[in-house]
Amino acid sequence: MLKPHPIVPLHLHHRIIVDFFNTTQALQHVTPIPAGTPPEKSIELLQGHEFFIQCDPHMMKYEAIDTPADPAPTLPADRGVTAVAAPKCYEVMDKVHALPAGLWDSDVISTYEFINIERGVFVRIRSPLNTMMETVWEIRQTEDGGSELVEDVLIKCSRLLVGVIKGTCESGWKGIHEKMVGKMAQP
């Protein structure tokens, strides 16, 4: 049996062990938006939560849920974004095939927290096994006067799962961006 370190208070000992097994991974994906697409239209589409959820290739079904009080959805202070609307939450069922056998069922139910920000949306996804993804989706102006879709992802999960979660993000982002940008470019 593990015994607490004599200098570390007992109530912090468990947290230190949990933190040792958890890690974070940052990713960024950027896609140009076709010339002539108004940035306001692109921002409005990002802030349409149901459109956003429907761009998820693994999504099987979803439904709006009451905003939880514990923990209440908030923006992380270190992401440099400001809320422009109250949070909205959804329960989403994804069909996930990439996870190691026995760790997760193939149907994964997660809570999605959406907080609209000035140039897009902040999305926090809380999934089983203490897995969380926090993503800022923004429309940013480019130096040449155009705009681009920027996805800044922060994955927080077990060291055992981070490779699988990162791999799923890396293998799917182009299709998601293509679907989003395609809708943004429609007249």
Residue 151, domain CATH = 3.30.530.20
* For the ranges 38-47, 51-60, 93-102, 103-112, the one whose mean pLDDT is highest: 38-47
Is residue 28 in some structural domain? no
Cβ–Cβ < 8 Å for 121, 46 = yes
Each residue of 40-76: pLDDT tens digit? 999 999 999 998 899 988 899 999 999 988 888 999 9
Handedness of CA 72, 78, 81, 82 (dihedral sign): positive
What's the 3-state SS for 54-98?
A: HCCCCEEEEEEECCCCCCCCCCCHHHCCCECCCCEEEEEEEECCC
Residue type, 41: K
The count of domains in the chain is 1
| Amino acid symbol at 165 | I
Residue 58 placed within a domain: yes
Q: What is the mean pLDDT of residues 83-101?
A: 84
Spatial CA neighbour of 99 closest among 166, 52, 54: 166
The answer to whether position 74 is within a domain reads no
pLDDT at 7: 55
The verdict on residue 10 lying in a domain is no
Instruction: Tell me the pLDDT tens digit for each residue of 124-138.
Output: 999 988 899 999 999
Q: Is the pLDDT of residue 87 over 60?
A: yes
Range of the domain at 178: 35-67+79-185
Average pLDDT over residues 149-164: 91
Is residue 159 pLDDT above 80, yes or no?
yes
Distance CA 24, CA 26 (A): 7
Query: Mean pLDDT across the chain, nearest whole number?
Result: 86
**Which DSSP helix (H) or strand (E) runs through 180?**
helix 162-185
**Dihedral-angle region of residue 46 (phi above 0 means left; psi in -120 to 50 means alpha; beta otherwise):** alpha
User: Is 45 inside any structural domain?
Assistant: yes
Structural domain contains residue 27: no
Residue 134 lies in a domain: yes
Query: Residue 60 falls within a domain, yes or no?
Result: yes
Residue 121: band (very low, low, confident or very high) from pLDDT cuts 50, 70, 90: very high
